[in-house]
């Protein structure tokens, strides 16, 4: 039987590299993105997410083998509330909505692209974590508003931290359903999202000054390789894990936490 996968954010950067990797492994890929995809959809709104989910389920006939949720917005996007919507709800709504189709797949697995930023604002200090998990958009908006010029950073790190937590919380139910679920946490990766940060006067210099221990930024293909591994049967016992693919950033910033 041929294999079918869903990749969100498939039009650019890491999602496009994941798409190429899955196609090379023989998968038929249903891409979801704002443009240049099989399913054109806006994951920033509840209505857009419902429509994208329905279109994907229609296309795959209710059966999927792999899901890679890569769509996301960086710190520079305005309004910052949209960063939180896409990075958290744009992933979780699809993840939960695609589980029944994955249960019918062959060696099914899903990977969520989080970020090494998810480790830098831990859950205990995440001021938008609980509001995101509760779907309290007004509370998220109020906290971001109060963060002033740091709202983009907070929306990004807070949504990625809440995302990794939400995935880990699903390990029990997804394990029982027979579907493996993991996150990949990339560090600085050469994509349009990173370029937007480099060009932003608020963040550009800090990104330029920060060299990962490995001495360079990642190519999108290096993140896609980790996603491909987690989706493959080579990772058949890896479940509920976060695979950090960051050139050593996490190790140097939090050597005693893992
Ligand atoms: N590039 C990095 O340094 C880096 C580091 C850590 C994590 N990440 C994460 O990797 C993922 C991919 O990022 P990238 O760097 O490849 O960025 P990118 O901008 O190249 O690609 C992101 C894709 O998501 C799509 N997207 C954005 N908003 C959307 C929406 N509302 N609805 C549907 N699709 C939407 C975009 O159209 C784009 O094709 C993101 O989740 C990002 O947070 C990136």
Q: How many domains does the chain have?
A: 1
pLDDT tens for each residue of 10-29: 999 999 999 999 999 999 99
Which of 88, 156, 203, 237 is catalytic? The answer is 156
Ligand 1 atom closest to Cα of 186?
A: 6
What is the C-alpha to C-alpha distance for residues 136 and 89, in angstroms, rounded to an integer?
11
Structure confidence at residue 161 (pLDDT): 98
In a domain, 130, yes or no: yes
Does residue 45 lie within any of the structural domains? yes
**Phi, psi values for residue 28, rounded to 5°:** -85, 125
CB of 93 closer than 8 Å to CB of 163: no
Determine the structural domain holding residue 34 and report its residue range. 3-243
Is 257 inside any structural domain? no
Q: Where are the alpha helices (H) located in the chain, listed in sequence order?
A: 13-24, 46-60, 80-84, 90-103, 129-134, 137-146, 151-169, 171-177, 192-198, 204-209, 220-231, 249-253
Q: Please state the rounded mean pLDDT for residues 128-149.
A: 98
CA–CA dist 258, 250 (Å, integer): 9
The model carries a pTM of 0.98
Pocket flag, ligand 1, residue 34 (CB < 6 Å):
yes
CB 113 near ligand 1, within 6 Å: yes
Q: What confidence score (pLDDT) does residue 29 get?
A: 98
In a domain, 93, yes or no: yes
Q: Give me the sign of the Cα torsion angle 99, 60, 225, 252.
A: negative
In a domain, 156, yes or no: yes
Quick check: is 88 catalytic? no
Does some domain include residue 220? Answer: yes
* CATH code, 13: 3.40.50.720
State yes or no: pLDDT of 1 exceeds 70: no
Task: Provide the mean pLDDT of the chain.
Answer: 97
- Residue 119 falls within a domain, yes or no? yes
Distance 176 CA to ligand 1 centre (A): 30
pLDDT tens figures, 86-125: 999 999 999 999 999 999 999 999 999 999 999 999 999 9
pLDDT at position 206: 86
* CB of residue 213 inside a 6 A radius of ligand 1: no
C-beta 44 within 6 A of ligand 1 = yes
Q: Is residue 254 part of a domain?
A: no
């Amino acid at each position: 039987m041929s294999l079918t996968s869903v990749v969100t954010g498939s039009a650019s950067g890491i999602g496009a590299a994941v798409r190429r990797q899955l196609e090379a492994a023989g998968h038929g890929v249903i891409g979801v993105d704002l443009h240049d995809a099989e399913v054109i959809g806006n994951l920033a709104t509840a209505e857009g997410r419902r429509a994208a989910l329905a279109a994907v389920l229609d296309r795959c006939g209710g059966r999927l083998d792999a899901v890679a949720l890569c769509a996301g917005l960086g710190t520079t996007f305005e309004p910052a509330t949209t960063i939180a919507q896409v990075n958290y709800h744009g992933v979780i709504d699809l993840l939960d909505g695609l589980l029944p189709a994955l249960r019918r797949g062959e060696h099914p697995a899903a990977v969520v692209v989080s970020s090494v930023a998810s480790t830098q604002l831990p859950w205990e200090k995440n001021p938008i974590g609980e509001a995101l998990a509760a779907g309290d958009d007004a509370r998220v908006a109020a906290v971001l508003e109060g963060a002033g010029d740091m709202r983009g950073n907070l929306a990004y790190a807070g949504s990625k931290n809440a995302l990794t937590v939400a995935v880990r919380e699903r390990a029990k139910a997804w394990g029982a359903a027979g579907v493996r679920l993991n996150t990949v946490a990339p560090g600085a990766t050469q994509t349009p999202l990173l370029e937007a940060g480099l060009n932003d006067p608020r963040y550009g210099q800090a990104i330029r000054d920060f060299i990962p221990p490995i001495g360079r930024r990642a190519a999108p293909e290096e993140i896609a390789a980790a996603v491909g591994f987690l989706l493959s049967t080579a990772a058949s016992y890896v479940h509920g894990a976060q695979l950090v693919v960051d050139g050593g950033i996490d190790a140097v910033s939090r050597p005693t936490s893992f």
